[in-house]
A and B are shown apart, each in its own frame.
Chain A
Amino acid sequence: GENVEQHPSTLSVQEGDSAVIKCTYSDSASNYFPWYKQELGKRPQLIIDIRSNVGEKKDQRIAVTLNKTAKHFSLHITETQPEDSAVYFCAASYTGTASKLTFGTGTRLQVTL
């Protein structure tokens, strides 16, 4: 089955700096890659997603890049703010006849003042 590895497990950046979180997946059939943000005690929230027919997608300060050949995808957050502090999860899925998200282990991002 699919396996998703995520690095780093913790990341501390200063406010205004950029943060990058990387994930690799094992199943070349995977074609959908969402990113979720989970604040302490709250539900995971979808922040951005990318499909395999696209190499990059951007939404304001957040961008995701996908390299299908290398089977890895990354989340980029620019101009980080304290409210970006949370745990971020990447996931991979094959959206064929059924949907199953395989999640990475999460990255705890701390944005310091």
Chain B
Amino acid sequence: KAGVTQTPRYLIKTRGQQVTLSCSPISGHRSVSWYQQTPGQGLQFLFEYFSETQRNKGNFPGRFSGRQFSNSRSEMNVSTLELGDSALYLCASSLSRAGYGYTFGSGTRLTVV
């Protein structure tokens, strides 16, 4: 059974650009969440989707957005990149509507220069 797949694994972008990250959840999982991991702030919640609906959003600026498709795959977009957006972006999926037992992907390492 395939795990949570995130693409790309690594990205280098310039300040001001935008970026789209992709996440394919485990087959059958409809709950998908995104987290930002940095050495200074740790693991911070970005958004959570269930059946194409954003049910929860973290305390991030509007430059951070996301969506979920009918096949449960999810994307997140960051516009007008800033140096501080450099981080590991992790996607997690759960079989449970309530969000028990999230399985994380290996993440996308974004570096903004």
Whether A46 sits at the interface, judged by CB under 8 Å, is yes
Is the Cβ of B105 less than 8 Å from the Cβ of A101? no
Number of interchain pairs (Cβ within 8 Å): 66
Is the Cβ of A99 less than 8 Å from the Cβ of B42? no
Is the Cβ of A42 less than 8 Å from the Cβ of B106? yes
Whether B61 sits at the interface, judged by CB under 8 Å, is no
Whether A82 sits at the interface, judged by CB under 8 Å, is no
Is the Cβ of A100 less than 8 Å from the Cβ of B45? yes
Whether A16 sits at the interface, judged by CB under 8 Å, is no
Return chain A residues, CB-CB under 8 Å to B56.
98-100
Can you list, as one digit per residue, whether each of B41-84 has a CB less than 8 Å from chain A (1) or not (0)?
Answer: 01111001010000110100000000000000000000000000
- Sorted nearest first, the 5 A-B pairs with minimum C-beta distance are A99-B99, A98-B55, A95-B98, A98-B56, A103-B43
Return chain A residues, CB-CB under 8 Å to B106.
42-43
What is A's interface to B at a CB cutoff of 8 Å? 32, 34, 36, 42-46, 49, 51, 89, 91, 93, 95-106
21 A-B contact pairs sorted by A residue (CB < 8 Å): A32-B98, A32-B99, A34-B102, A36-B104, A43-B106, A44-B43, A45-B104, A46-B103, A49-B101, A89-B43, A95-B98, A96-B98, A97-B55, A98-B99, A99-B55, A99-B56, A100-B56, A101-B33, A101-B35, A101-B45, A101-B99
